[in-house]
């Protein structure tokens, strides 16, 4: 497919979609940032992590729980799962309705504090990673499994509050005619700080610049090694002491002049690459292909996604329905089908910045291995 640069696409969005905005360039840039988040979300779902995903949870720093940080996506161990069926109607599907269905099948809802979240609104807007209840150390979530003529089949799953991985998306715009945005390095440093602060696996450099890792156990003893070797050891381990507070950190960045490319990184990318366990780069080709397929030149079956995007970002918008948290129900099904049918192509949208000399399939394997750990015993 012939593709345009992201800068050219942003200018098109400025003119065609955000012409009403006081700062149309910034509005278009924010929309592109949302698209990066959406691509990341559906990639994780297609990698079969739907029941592990939480969105925008506040996570404590390792060893310093007074300080917490919001992260875009966190992947959590699943402690329990069950299905319920809810009759299709014109009403919203609320936490309260789902709890009533759970009580009918004698699921113990008493230990959860019910939320006021709505899984599906009357206007057909889905809440992704919808938390319907919580305890002090877990969240109860709901998502759609399938739909028949009469019922929604809904998956209910309990996640431990401690994640085994996090994903953060970074994209920063620049002013016209400038080489750098004034906040790019500051945002990179913010992301780097979070990546280095929340996991029990910590990074240390020696005088030669070699990266070492250290991880403490509950008795205050520790293991240390070259960072990459220790990271690999932890991911493959069944040792409760190594896994219980370990979090794999992944950053997703996209280009907009100031990030340069994965082969020509500037200071911002170098800061992020040395801080996250994985730094993956969403190429112009990938972002452009998504926008051309669904927003600029959609086929008839994808027009609902263009309409959903327009409804969220037009001057007279009523509510967002094209974000990582809220998505039009029909658009969600189409996006998921597209990602499932084109996964190998979509994985090629990404370049790996760090670790060196590796491929995205390795990240997928590591996440699957962490997902399948015996977390009930570990935690």
- One domain for residues 56 and 110: no
The C-alpha atoms of residue 37 and residue 40 are separated, in whole angstroms, by: 5
DSSP tag of 322: B
If one counts every other C-beta atom within 10 angstroms of the C-beta of residue 252, the result is 24
Asked if residue 156 and residue 58 are part of one domain, the reply reads no
- Is residue 296 in a domain? no
Specify whether 149 is located in the same domain as 260.
Answer: no
Instruction: Identify the band that residue 3 occupies on the pLDDT scale cut at 50, 70 and 90.
Output: low
Q: What is the rounded CA–CA span in Å between residue 297 and residue 294?
A: 7
pLDDT value of position 1: 46
- The answer to whether position 316 is within a domain reads no
* 34 & 130 share domain: no
Give the pLDDT of residue 125.
95
Q: Clarify whether residues 206 and 280 are in a common domain.
A: yes
Residue 238 within any structural domain of the chain: yes
Establish if 303 belongs to a structural domain: no
CB 107 within 8 A of CB 82: yes
Q: Across the chain, which distance is largest between two alpha carbons, in Å? A: 66
* End position of a domain, from candidates 160, 191, 211: 160
| Judgement on whether residues 187 and 252 belong to the same structural domain of the protein | yes
Average the pLDDT over each of 76-80, 90-94, 245-249, 271-275 and give the range with the smallest value. Answer: 271-275
Asked if residue 277 belongs to a domain, the reply is yes
Residue for token digits 């293991």?
223
Q: pLDDT band for 172, please (50, 70, 90 cuts).
A: low
Burial 312-348 (b: 16+ CB within 10 A, else e): bbeeeeeeebbbbebbbbebbebbeebbeeeeeebbe
Number of separate domains in the chain? 2
Q: Is residue 68 part of a domain?
A: no
More reliable by pLDDT, 100 or 21: 100
Find, among 146, 62, 141, 48, the residue nearest to 102 by Cα: 141
Instruction: List the domain range (segments joined by +) for residue 185.
Output: 6-62+165-285+347-378
Instruction: Give mean pLDDT, residues 3-10.
Output: 72
Residue with tokens 């005088």: 207
Residue 14 predicted with pLDDT over 90: no
Please indicate, yes or no, whether residues 54 and 192 belong to a single structural domain of this protein: yes
Residue 258 has pLDDT above 70, yes or no: no
Same domain, 252 and 360: yes
State the chain's mean pLDDT as an integer: 89
- Alpha-helical regions (H) of 259-321: 267-273, 284-291, 303-313
User: What does the pLDDT look like over 264-318, one tens digit per residue?
Assistant: 567 777 888 899 999 999 988 899 899 999 998 899 999 999 999 988 887 766 6
* pLDDT, tens digit, 9 for 90 and up, residues 334-360: 999 999 999 999 999 999 999 988 999
CB 120 within 8 A of CB 329: yes
Give pLDDT tens digits for 90-130.
889 999 999 999 999 989 999 999 999 999 999 999 999 99
Residues 363 and 258 grouped into a single domain: yes
Residues 172 and 152 in one domain: no
Residue 145 domain-assigned (yes or no): yes
Residue 182 confidence (pLDDT) above 50: no
Q: What one-character DSSP code corresponds to residue 294?
A: I
The pLDDT of residue 188:
79
Q: Percent of the chain at pLDDT above 70? A: 92
* Domain shared by 360 and 269, yes or no: yes
What pLDDT band is residue 173 in, cutting at 50, 70 and 90?
Answer: very low
**pLDDT tier at 34, thresholds 50, 70, 90:** very high
Residue 171, in any domain of the structure? yes
Query: pTM higher than 0.75 for the full model?
Result: yes
Note whether 134 and 24 are same-domain residues: no
Predicted confidence (pLDDT) at residue 56 exceeds the cutoff of 90? yes
Residue ending a domain, among 118, 144, 160, is 160
pLDDT band at residue 28 under the 50/70/90 scheme: confident
Contact (Cβ atoms closer than 8 angstroms) between residue 292 and residue 23: no
Q: Which of 160, 194, 219 is the last residue of a domain?
A: 160
Bridging pattern class, strands 248-254 and 165-170: parallel
319 band by pLDDT with thresholds 50, 70 and 90: confident
- For residue 378, the Cα-to-chain-centroid distance in whole angstroms is 24
């Amino acid at each position: 497919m012939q593709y345009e640069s992201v800068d050219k696409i942003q200018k098109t969005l400025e003119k065609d979609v955000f012409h009403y905005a006081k700062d149309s360039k910034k509005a278009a840039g924010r929309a592109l940032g949302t698209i990066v988040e959406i691509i990341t979300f559906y990639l994780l779902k297609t990698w079969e992590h739907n029941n592990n995903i939480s969105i925008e949870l506040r996570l404590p720093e390792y060893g310093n729980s007074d300080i917490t940080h919001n992260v875009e996506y966190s992947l959590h161990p699943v402690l329990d799962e069950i299905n319920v069926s809810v009759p299709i109607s014109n009403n919203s599907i609320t936490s309260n309705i789902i709890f009533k269905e759970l009580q009918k099948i004698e699921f113990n809802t008493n230990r959860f504090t019910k939320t006021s979240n709505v899984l599906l609104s009357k206007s057909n807007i889905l809440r992704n990673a919808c938390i319907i209840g919580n305890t002090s150390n877990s969240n109860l979530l709901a998502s759609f499994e399938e739909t028949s003529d009469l019922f929604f089949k809904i998956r209910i799953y309990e996640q431990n509050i401690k994640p085994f991985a996090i994903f953060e998306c970074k994209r920063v715009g620049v002013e016209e005619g400038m080489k750098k945005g004034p906040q790019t390095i500051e945002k990179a440093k913010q992301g780097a700080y979070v990546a280095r602060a929340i996991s029990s696996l910590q990074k240390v450099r020696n005088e030669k610049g070699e990266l070492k890792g250290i991880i403490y156990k509950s008795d205050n003893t520790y293991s240390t090694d070259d960072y990459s070797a220790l990271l690999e050891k932890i991911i493959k381990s069944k040792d409760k002491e190594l896994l219980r507070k370990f979090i794999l950190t992944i950053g997703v960045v996209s280009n907009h002049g100031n990030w340069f490319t994965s082969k020509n990184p500037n200071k911002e990318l170098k800061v992020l690459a040395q801080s996250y366990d994985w730094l993956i780069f969403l190429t112009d080709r990938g972002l452009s292909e998504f926008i051309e397929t669904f927003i600029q030149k959609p086929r008839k079956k994808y027009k609902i996604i263009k309409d959903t995007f327009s409804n969220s970002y037009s001057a007279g918008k009523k509510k967002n329905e094209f974000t990582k948290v809220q998505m039009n129900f029909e658009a969600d099904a189409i996006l998921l089908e597209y990602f499932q049918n084109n996964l190998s192509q979509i994985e090629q949208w990404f370049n790996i910045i760090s670790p060196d000399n590796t491929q995205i399939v390795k990240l997928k394997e590591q996440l699957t291995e962490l997902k399948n750990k015996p977390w009930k015993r570990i935690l």
